[in-house]
Amino acid sequence: MPVQILTGVLVNLRSLWRSVVLGTAFLAFFSGCSFLPGLSGRAPGNRAFITYWPPVKGGNPLRLAVKDNIDMKGVVTTAGSEYLARNSPPAVKDASCLAIARQRKVQIVGKANLSEFAVAPSGFNEYFGTPVNPFNGWRSLIPGGSSCGSAVAVASGLADVAFGTDTAGSVRVPAACCGIVGLKTTHGLIPIDGVVPIEPEHLDTIGPMAKDIARTVQGMDLLQRGFAARYAAEVAAKPRAKNIRIGRVTLEDTDPKIEQAVDQALARAGFQVVPLDDAFSRKWEQAKKDGNTLAAAGAWISDRQYRYKIGVSRRTKSAILAGRLAVSTKYSAAVARQGTWQNTLRDVFKNVDFIALPTIRSTPPSIPPNLKIGILEMHVLDLQNTVAVNFAGNPALAMPIPLQHSSVPKTSLQLIGPRLSEAGLLNAGRLVEGGWGK
């Protein structure tokens, strides 16, 4: 599900930027045991976790981090918000997506940090603190959001697998920023009851995050029964890349080094690459605008009860109000175009197995020292190539590939598949990973 949403009115990013009224709204914001979080307002260490439980020796060796907008029985679900941390009772039961992990006695090592209410694509959280991007050097880079804590927990070795939510890219963008793998699942495949919603009717999903494809398969097997067997069957059916056709999308304003890295990754794996035309790229950009509209509207639909609460940041309140504007202006028209976009993708998948493009159009931006986070959020929304997939409901895989001549050594390849093609996507990811060596 969860998201990057904040997206307000991003429906038409450039025209909104010129609009004084909408621009103002955007800049204000800117897509066990009973436990109450310590209310110091700061998560410890690299701030990957809001709550951390060290793994027990001799237990299940797989360590799982759970994004803190997913209910765990007996634990307060903060959704990254001071208001919920202070005022919400512990969850009375687990979210459905934890059922397999509980049955297998997987060690849940913590509730992972996130952007407040899962709405900021940068991963910034002013109350619990922003998780630390593992590629930080002299610059403080965004970790990507909203599943920022899940990505940092995996990248830093504090968890083997993490569950994130993806509404507009909230699994894939932090995976891209932190150099790990993230899988956005088919809309409706994984139950989302017990998850703090944003736009559940059209966008919200749950997916696994891990350092490599093998661990991501393990994570997916914790979300869908029998997935490991489906993946093994896909590997047996298509053991080599030469039998897989990849539709290659190119979009304007992408760093040429990142485009080159994607092309090199596909070539080294040995896929059949089929360029997709400019007409498809234009349809992609419209789907991005429409997906951002739905995600922005979701902030109002799901979170409007928090717009006057003390303990909710002013930026989040502004995003909620921007969502109200999206609902009243462009939401219905965007929903009406969803079927056409889904049909477009179905037609493309008659000729290719998967679609490839960068997950984000540049390396992760820096967190501005003057904390003009509103401008940063708008910038990240423009950089990400993710929400068009949510708008269709299809699955997508983000995985790290080498990036040469850059201070950040990795960028991210995004592979998009037909509905319910998660096993095939991970097999394709395996072939990319094998092409580069691990």
What integer pLDDT is reported at residue 3 of this predicted model?
A: 39
The pLDDT, as a whole number, for residue 374 is 74
- What pLDDT, on a 0 to 100 scale, did the predictor assign at position 436? 65
Cβ neighbours of 91 (radius 10 Å): 17
Dig out the tokens for 152 from the structure.
Answer: 């940092």
Q: Which residue, 292, 213, 212, 278, is CA-closest to 249?
A: 278
Domain 10-436 listed as CATH 3.90.1300.10: yes
146 is known as an active-site residue: yes
CA distance 90 to 284: 41
Do the beta carbons of residue 90 and residue 76 sit within 8 Å?
yes
- Tens of pLDDT along the chain (438 residues) come to 443 433 333 333 333 333 323 333 333 333 333 354 555 567 778 999 999 999 988 888 999 999 999 999 999 999 999 999 999 999 999 999 999 999 999 999 999 999 999 999 999 999 999 999 999 988 899 999 999 999 999 999 999 999 999 999 999 999 999 999 999 999 999 999 999 999 999 999 999 999 999 999 999 999 999 999 999 999 999 999 999 999 999 999 999 999 999 999 999 999 999 999 999 999 999 999 999 999 999 999 999 999 999 999 998 999 999 999 999 999 999 999 999 999 999 999 999 999 999 999 999 999 987 655 678 898 999 999 999 999 999 999 999 999 999 999 999 999 999 999 999 999 999 999 998 654
Residue whose C-alpha is closest to residue 182's, from 211, 157, 160: 211
Which position among 31, 146, 150, 412 bears the catalytic label? Answer: 146
**398 — phi, psi (to 5°)?**
-110, 130
**Global confidence as pTM:** 0.91
Q: What is the pLDDT of residue 222?
A: 98
Q: What is the pLDDT of residue 25?
A: 35
| From 31, 67, 184, 410, active-site residue | 67
Q: Which residues make Cβ contacts (< 8 Å) with residue 255, sequence separation at least 6?
A: 361, 362, 363
Q: Among the options 170, 302, 313, 412, which is catalytic?
A: 170
Residue 150 bears catalytic tag? no
User: Quick check: is 407 catalytic?
Assistant: no
In the prediction, which pLDDT does 373 show? 63
- The pLDDT score that the predictor gives to residue 376 is 87
Q: Which residues contact 181 (CB under 8 A, 6 or more apart)?
A: 175, 209, 210, 211, 212, 213, 215, 216, 397, 398, 399, 400, 429
Paired strand residues for 416? 355, 396
Q: What is the reported pLDDT for 274?
A: 98
